[in-house]
A and B are shown apart, each in its own frame.
Chain A
Amino acid sequence: MSGSVTAEDIEKQVFALALPSKISDILREELLQVMPDAGQLDEILASVADAYADACIEPCDPVGVVAAQSIGEPGTQMTMRTFHYAGVAEINVTLGLPRLIEILDARKNPSTPVMTVYLQGVDGESRRLAQNVAWLIQKTTIVDVGEVSTDRTNLRILIDLDEGAMHERKLTMPDIVEKLEGKLKIQISESGYTLTLEPSEPNLGSLVMLSRNLRKVVLKGFEEITRVVIQKEGSEYVLYTEGTALKKVLDIEGMDPARTTSNHPGEMCEVFGIEAARISIINEIMSTLREQGLNVDSRHIMLAADMMTCDGEVKQIGRHGLSGEKASILARAAFEVTVNHLIDAGMRGDIDELSGVTENVIVGQPIRLGTGNIQLISRQVPSVSQS
C-alpha cells in the first residue's frame, strides 16, 4: 500500500485532468467517498482520462446532420393536438409538432406566449402580494369591473360598476373615469356606481363605435397580458400569464429577474440577450419533446440552438434564416426559391467556393465531411527493383 491521499490532493489532481466541469465534479465526489491511496488514485485518474477520451466525439463527425435527424425524426411520432394544459391546468399552451415548428421557425408572434413570473424574497411566499402583482399586470377592461349596457333610444351607454370587483382590483372611481375620458375623449357623468357615456355625435353609428372602443380601453395592467394564474410551488407563489410583456413586468419592483422567464425566445433575446435566448430555445424544445414522451439528447438541441443564435440574433431554421444566408449559391438554389438565387448570383458575380455538402453533391465530388475530409495523398512507394 502506498501513501494516503488528502482531499486537497484529489482536488488538485482532478483539476489537472482538465475535464469538463460536470465530469470532474462527479469524479471528485466519487473519489472523496472512497478516499483511495496514491497508487489507486493515479490508476483511477488515468483510466477516467482514457475513458473520457474514448467517449468523446470523433473528429470529422458530421454532428450537424445527426443533430438535425435526431430532432426531426421524433417529429414523425409527435401528435398534432395543438392545445393542452401544461404545468398549470388553466393555461393553454401549444404543444407537440406545431410548437416545435414554431420554436425552430423563430416566429415573431408565437401562438401561445406564456410568462412565468417569480417574486423576489419573502414576497413570493405571500399569496396576497402575488395577487396584487397579478392585478397589476393583468389587463383589466371595463367589462371586468362592471356591466355595460347600451341604451339605443337615448343614444348613451350605461356602465354599472361592480364595487367588489373594483375594490379587488384596486381601482377607484376617479381612476376609471379619468382613463376612459382620456382614451375616449368624451365627457362622462357619474352617479353613484353608474357611469353614463354619450357619444360625441348623437347618432347610432358613433354610439356603436364608442361601445366598441370602450371595451378596448385598458384600465389597468398590460395590454398583452390577458390572464394571470397564480400557482403555489413549494413555499412560494408563482404567476403564470397568458401573453407576454417581459420587459414591462420586470420593471415592476419585487420581480425576480433571475428566474422570471417567457416562453418566447425572441423576447428573451430582446430583454436578456442572446445567451438567454439560446437557453430559452433549448429549454422550450426539450420540454416540448419531453411532454410527448420523446427522448432526445440535449447535445443535439444545443447544437440547433447554437446554430440559430451564433450570429447574435435569433435566426430561423429555414428559408428566411439559416438556409437563406448560406454562403453557397448552389446550396441555396437546391433548398428553396431556386431561380431567384441563381439570378441574383449572376447579377452580383458571386463565387461558390464549393465547401459545403449540397454544392459538392451537385457537382458530383466527395463532400468535405467525415471520411471525405481526410486531406492525405499517398506518395507511391518506389517499387523494389526486380532484377
Chain B
Amino acid sequence: MKQLSAPKRIARIKFGLISPLEYRNMSVTRIITADTYDEDGFPIDMGLMDPKLGVIDPGLRCKTCSGRAGECPGHFGHIELVAPCIHVGFAKQIRNILRGTCRSCSRLLLEPVAKKEHLEQIGVLRGRGQPIDSVVERVFAEAVKTDVCPYCGEHQIKVIYEKPTTYYEDENKLLPSDIRDWFEHIPDEDLTIFGMDPANARPEWMIMTVLPVPPVTVRPSITLQTGQRSEDDLTHKLVDIIRINQRFQENKEAGAPQLIIEDLWELLQYHVTTFMDNSVSGIPPARHRSGRPLKTLSQRLKGKEGRFRGSLSGKRVNFSGRTVISPDPNLSINEVGVPERVARELTFTIKAVPRNIEELKEYIRRGPVNHPGANYIVRTDGHKMKVTELNREELAETIEYGWFVDRHLKDGDIVLFNRQPSLHKMSIMAHEVKVMPGKTFRLNPAVCPPYNADFDGDEMNIHVQQTEEAKAEAKILMRVQENILSPRFGGPIIGGIHDHITGMFLLTREKQIDKNSALEILRKAGVRDLPEPDHIVEGTPYWTGKQIFSRILPGGLNLEYKAEICQECDTCMKENCPTDAYVIINSGELLCGTIDEKSIGAFKGLIISKIIKEYGATDGTKFIDNVTNLAIRGIMYHGFSFGIDDEDIPDEANKQIQEISKEAIHGKDGIEDLIDQYEHRELDLLPGRTLAETLELRIMQVLGKVRDMAGDRAGIHLGIDNSAVAMAVSGARGSMLNLAQMAACVGQQAVRGERIHRGYSDRTLPHFKKGDLSADAHGFVQASYKSGLTPTEYFFHAIGGREGLVDTAVRTSQSGYLQRRMVNALQDLEAQRDGTVRDTRGIVVQTLFGEDGIDPSHGFGRDQINRIVRDVVEVDK
C-alpha cells in the first residue's frame, strides 16, 4: 500500500553570514578581468560574463550544470579583494564591537559575572521567542564604559566612527585589515553575548576579503535593437570593483607610496560599499553614465517595487483577465458576464477519463475559435500540443485517457472576480461565468457596493482557478451569496442601490395597478399568479404595489420597523403613519409602510438580512435578484426622470428665501449687527474663546441657519412627487442638502471648518474693503446652483472645492498605509478549535473570540433568542 505523497514543505530557513572560505568553495570561477565580451561577442573566461556563471541566452547550455536558460539557476563566482573592505550593512555592529572589546586581547570588556548574567537573560528571551535587542544594547552600553580591560589590563581608547565606513582610534585610522585581526581573536562565548551566533556568523566575516560575484541570471544584459549590449547596473559596479582591485594590486606590487595605496583602498571601499547599498548617507551615490543613480543590491530588495514586496509577496499570474465593467440587471448577483473573447482565451485543464472523454473530444473538435472549445492538449509524457483550426479534428481522435485538455471557460464555471483596491475580503468574490457577446465584464449592479465599483470606466480582474479543490473552496467560501452579510457590521453589503430603491419606493406607494401591468412587473421574478385583487373599480380588478411586492417575500416572514422616510415624529402613529413610513410585514405580506433603503438597500437592508438569517443565503440571493428586477420594472411602470425644471420653485418661494438671507444679514442679531457689536466689544464671549473667535462662530451659526431655512423653504415647495425629493427621502441618491443647494442657496464655503480668510492682506479679494467681515467677503454663497453664482461666489466655491480634492488625495494614501499596517500586524491571528484566538506561534491573544465567540456576520442576540422562545411556546398554543 502506497501513501499518497504529501506535498513537501520548507520547514525553516536559517540565516547566517558567509565565510571567505565558503565564498571560495561555492564559487565556480575566480573573476579577474573587468572585460565582459571579446571582439567576436563571446564571453571572456574569468570575466564577468564567464559562461560558467550560468546562461541567459536561449539555446546555449551552462558550462557548470549544462542546464538550458531557465533551467540553470546560475552560479556564483568570486573576486579576491587585494585588501579587505568593510561591508556597509554591518558598519554599526562593527563600531559596537570595536567599542565593546579590548583593543589588545579582543575580549568583551565586562566582568565574568556580568557576562554570565547577560548570557542567562539572552537564553531566557531566546527560549520565549522574544527579541533580544534590549539586552544586547545594554551589553554594549556597559562595555563601552569600561576603561581598563579586566583581562589584560590594557587601557582602552575610544573608537570614533565616521559614516559610513571609517573608524579612528583618537587620530589614527583603523584599517579594515587591522579590524579584521582584532575581530579574529574575539572568543566565541563573548560573541553570544553580542547576540551573534559564532557558528554562523564570525565578526571578521563582516569585513570582506572575498567578494561574491552574483550569477549572470541575477544581472542579465539586454541586447538593444541596434545590436549593442546594455549591461545591468550590478555588472557595471562589478567592473568598477575589478578595475580598482587590479590597479591596487599593480601599485602594491610596484611598491607605491603609502598615500597612493590608501587612496586606492578608500576607492575600493567606496565601490564595494555602493555595490551593497547605493543610498548610504555620507557618500555620493554611484551613477550611471547618464547621471541616473545605479540600482545595486539593497535597492533591489527595498521598497514597494523591491524584491520582497514586489516580487515575493505579490506575483503576476496566468489565467487572468481584465477589462471594463458594465451593468446587467438581468444577471443574478452570483453571476458575471464574460465576453466570449475572454472565455476563449482563459482555460481550465481537465484530465481525460472514461466519464468525460467524449465531452472533451467535442471541445477539441470545436477547436480554439468556436466558443466552448479547447486551446491545448497535453500528453501523458508532458508534451504540449496547440489545438489549431487545421489539426483539431485529427487531435480529437488521438486523445487518450490520462491526457489533459485545456478547455475554454463556459457557463457555470466558478471564477474569482476582483476590483482594486482590495480593501476587504468582499473585494474578491467567486462568480459563476455567463459567456456573453460584447467586450466588457457584466455584473449585477447590486454587487457594486462590496467592490465599490461603478460603471464610469472601472476595470475589474478575473481569475480562473486551475484545480477542482480550489474551485470547490471558492464556491463554498467565496461565492457572492456567502458574502452578502459583511463581517464588518453584520449587515448586508449587497443590496439595492439607486434605482432599485427609488423603484421599490414608487412601487410600494402605488395604489392602483391593473392585471396586465401587475403580471408584467412580476414576470421577471417568476411569479405568474396574483392574489385576490385589492379593489375593483367598474368591474376591473386592481392591485396595490404592496401586494405585488409581497409576492416575492418568503411565506412566514414577520418584521416591523420604521422605514428610511420616517420623519421621527414625537409620538409614532405606527400603522397610521401619515407618510406611510411604518413597515409591518406579517407572514410574508407587506401590510403597511413603504419599502426603501432601510428595507432593501445595501448596508441597511433589514429584509435582506432577516431573510438570510432565517432562510439561508440561497433564498437571500433569490430575494435580492427578485427585488432588483421588481424595482426596475416598478420604476419603468411609474416612469422616472429628473431635469433642470425639477428644481423650479415658485417666485414667491424665491422671494421668501431672499427675505431669509436679508434678515440674516441686516436683521436683528444678523451679521451686520454682530459685526457692530464686535467692533464695540459688546459681544458676549463664548466660554474659552476670544472676541474674534466668538464673532466667527456666531456668524457661521447664522449663515448655517440661512442655508437650512432656505432649504426648508424649497423643500416645502418640492413635494414627494418631485423626483429629486423621492430619491433623497428614500435614500436612493442625494440628500435634501444637495437639493437645497441646487434650488435655494449653496451656503457658506469653508476651509478647515472656518470661513475663508486667506488671500490678500486683510481681505480675501481686491473687490472688498480691507477688514471687511461681511458674509459676502468671506465665502458665503447666497445663490443656488440653478440661479448661478456671482464671480466672487464662484471663486470661493472653487476654494472650498479644492480643499475637498486635496482631502481625498491625502486620505487615500494615509488610510492605505493604515490598512497595510493593520493587516500586517493582525494577519497571523486565527480562531482555533477550542474557541481561542492565537497567532501562528501559538500565543493566545483572546481566550474566546470577541468575548462571546460569535461570528460578527452571524449575529446572535435578543432577536434570535426571542424568536426561538416564541416559536416553541406559540406552536404549542
> Of A79, A353, A361, A379, which contacts B312 at CB under 8 A?
A361
The complex places the Cα of A30 from the Cα of B865 at a distance, in Å, of: 8
Q: Is A81 an interface residue (CB 8 A)?
A: yes
Task: Report A-chain residues with C-beta under 8 Å of the C-beta of B254.
Answer: none
The complex places the Cα of A52 from the Cα of B13 at a distance, in Å, of: 42
Give a binary string over A349-361; 1 marks a CB under 8 Å from any B CB, 0 the rest.
1111111111001
Query: Nearest Cβ in chain A — how far from B822, in angstroms?
Result: 4
14 extra A-B contacts, CB within 8 A, seeds A34-B870, A354-B9: A80-B814, A97-B814, A317-B821, A322-B825, A333-B301, A335-B824, A338-B302, A338-B306, A346-B17, A346-B201, A348-B196, A349-B14, A349-B196, A355-B840
Query: Nearest Cβ in chain B — how far from A231, in angstroms?
Result: 11
| A363 & B10 in contact (Cβ 8 Å cutoff) | yes
| B865 & A27 in contact (Cβ 8 Å cutoff) | yes
Q: Is B177 an interface residue (CB 8 A)?
A: no
Known A-B contacts A27-B865, A342-B301, A343-B89; the reply to A66 vs B811 at CB < 8 A is no
The complex places the Cα of A90 from the Cα of B54 at a distance, in Å, of: 72
| Segment of A53-61, A110-118, A258-266 in the binding face | A53-61
The complex places the Cα of A350 from the Cα of B17 at a distance, in Å, of: 11
Sampled A-B contacts (28; CB under 8 Å): A20-B854, A36-B872, A52-B854, A55-B855, A57-B835, A66-B856, A68-B823, A68-B825, A69-B424, A76-B421, A229-B688, A295-B491, A297-B487, A297-B856, A298-B850, A299-B851, A304-B826, A323-B825, A327-B129, A329-B13, A329-B15, A330-B13, A331-B824, A342-B15, A352-B14, A363-B10, A366-B7, A369-B840
Q: Is A73 an interface residue (CB 8 A)?
A: yes
> Of B811, B815, B839, which contacts A72 at CB under 8 A?
B815
Give a binary string over A293-330; 1 marks a CB under 8 Å from any B CB, 0 the rest.
00111111011101100100000011001110111011
Query: Nearest Cβ in chain A — how far from B487, in angstroms?
Result: 5
Known A-B contacts A36-B872, A101-B814, A373-B830; the reply to A299 vs B849 at CB < 8 A is yes
Q: Is the interface of A mostly helix, strand, loop or mixed?
A: helix
Query: Nearest Cβ in chain A — how far from B267, in angstroms?
Result: 24
Give a binary string over A27-67; 1 marks a CB under 8 Å from any B CB, 0 the rest.
10011001010001001100110011011111111111111
Give a binary string over B248-291; 1 marks a CB under 8 Å from any A CB, 0 the rest.
00000000000000000000000000000100000000000000
| A307 & B827 in contact (Cβ 8 Å cutoff) | no
**In the complex, residue of chain A having the shortest beta-carbon distance to the beta carbon of B842:** A355
Known A-B contacts A48-B868, A97-B815, A373-B830; the reply to A76 vs B821 at CB < 8 A is no
| A62 & B827 in contact (Cβ 8 Å cutoff) | yes
Task: Report A-chain residues with C-beta under 8 Å of the C-beta of B668.
Answer: none
| B865 & A54 in contact (Cβ 8 Å cutoff) | no
Q: Is A276 an interface residue (CB 8 A)?
A: no
| B822 & A55 in contact (Cβ 8 Å cutoff) | no
The complex places the Cα of A68 from the Cα of B876 at a distance, in Å, of: 46
| B831 & A58 in contact (Cβ 8 Å cutoff) | yes
The complex places the Cα of A3 from the Cα of B473 at a distance, in Å, of: 49
The complex places the Cα of A356 from the Cα of B313 at a distance, in Å, of: 13
Task: Report B-chain residues with C-beta under 8 Å of the C-beta of A79.
Answer: 807, 811
Known A-B contacts A338-B306, A351-B13; the reply to A30 vs B866 at CB < 8 A is yes
Task: Report A-chain residues with C-beta under 8 Å of the C-beta of B870.
Answer: 34
| A65 & B868 in contact (Cβ 8 Å cutoff) | no
Q: Is B168 an interface residue (CB 8 A)?
A: no
| B865 & A26 in contact (Cβ 8 Å cutoff) | yes
Interface residues of B in 832-868 (CB under 8 A from A): 832-833, 835, 837, 839-841, 843-846, 848-856, 858-862, 864-866, 868
Q: Is B537 an interface residue (CB 8 A)?
A: no
Give a binary string over B1-37; 1 marks a CB under 8 Å from any A CB, 0 the rest.
1111011011111111100000000000000000000
Query: Nearest Cβ in chain A — how far from B138, in angstroms?
Result: 16
| B853 & A57 in contact (Cβ 8 Å cutoff) | yes
Q: Is B686 an interface residue (CB 8 A)?
A: yes
The complex places the Cα of A304 from the Cα of B197 at a distance, in Å, of: 35
**In the complex, residue of chain B having the shortest beta-carbon distance to the beta carbon of A365:** B9
Q: Is B200 an interface residue (CB 8 A)?
A: yes
Task: Report A-chain residues with C-beta under 8 Å of the C-beta of B1.
Answer: 379-380, 382
Q: Is A74 an interface residue (CB 8 A)?
A: yes
> Of A51, A58, A72, A330, which contacts B818 at CB under 8 A?
A72
Contact residues on A (Cβ < 8 Å of other chain), bracket: 35 or more
Known A-B contacts A61-B831, A64-B830, A373-B830; the reply to A73 vs B819 at CB < 8 A is yes
Task: Report B-chain residues with C-beta under 8 Å of the C-beta of A296.
Answer: 488-489
Known A-B contacts A83-B753, A303-B845, A339-B298; the reply to A65 vs B15 at CB < 8 A is no
The complex places the Cα of A121 from the Cα of B308 at a distance, in Å, of: 60
User: Of A44, A60, A339, which is in contact with the most chain B CB atoms at under 10 Å from its CB?
Assistant: A339
The complex places the Cα of A296 from the Cα of B303 at a distance, in Å, of: 32
Task: Report A-chain residues with C-beta under 8 Å of the C-beta of B132.
Answer: 348
| B860 & A297 in contact (Cβ 8 Å cutoff) | no
Task: Report B-chain residues with C-beta under 8 Å of the C-beta of A362.
Answer: 308, 312-313
> Of B807, B818, B829, B853, which contacts A75 at CB under 8 A?
B818
| B873 & A36 in contact (Cβ 8 Å cutoff) | yes
Task: Report B-chain residues with C-beta under 8 Å of the C-beta of A64.
Answer: 826-830, 837, 839
| B825 & A377 in contact (Cβ 8 Å cutoff) | no
The complex places the Cα of A355 from the Cα of B828 at a distance, in Å, of: 9
| B90 & A343 in contact (Cβ 8 Å cutoff) | yes
Q: Is A189 an interface residue (CB 8 A)?
A: no
The complex places the Cα of A345 from the Cα of B835 at a distance, in Å, of: 34
Query: Nearest Cβ in chain A — how far from B603, in angstroms?
Result: 8
Known A-B contacts A79-B807, A318-B821; the reply to A377 vs B6 at CB < 8 A is yes
| A227 & B688 in contact (Cβ 8 Å cutoff) | yes
Q: Is A203 an interface residue (CB 8 A)?
A: no
**In the complex, residue of chain B having the shortest beta-carbon distance to the beta carbon of A82:** B752
**In the complex, residue of chain B having the shortest beta-carbon distance to the beta carbon of A359:** B13
Q: Is B569 an interface residue (CB 8 A)?
A: no
Task: Report B-chain residues with C-beta under 8 Å of the C-beta of A100.
Answer: 818
> Of B4, B199, B306, B858, which contacts A349 at CB under 8 A?
B199
Query: Nearest Cβ in chain A — how far from B863, in angstroms?
Result: 10
Query: Nearest Cβ in chain B — how far from A364, in angstroms?
Result: 8
The complex places the Cα of A227 from the Cα of B686 at a distance, in Å, of: 14
| A317 & B4 in contact (Cβ 8 Å cutoff) | no
Q: Is A22 an interface residue (CB 8 A)?
A: yes
**In the complex, residue of chain B having the shortest beta-carbon distance to the beta carbon of A67:** B826
Task: Report A-chain residues with C-beta under 8 Å of the C-beta of B6.
Answer: 377
> Of B2, B3, B195, B827, which contacts A358 at CB under 8 A?
B827
Task: Report B-chain residues with C-beta under 8 Å of the C-beta of A204.
Answer: none
Query: Nearest Cβ in chain B — how far from A278, in angstroms?
Result: 11
Known A-B contacts A299-B849, A338-B301; the reply to A51 vs B864 at CB < 8 A is yes
The complex places the Cα of A378 from the Cα of B872 at a distance, in Å, of: 44
Interface residues of B in 114-136 (CB under 8 A from A): 129-132
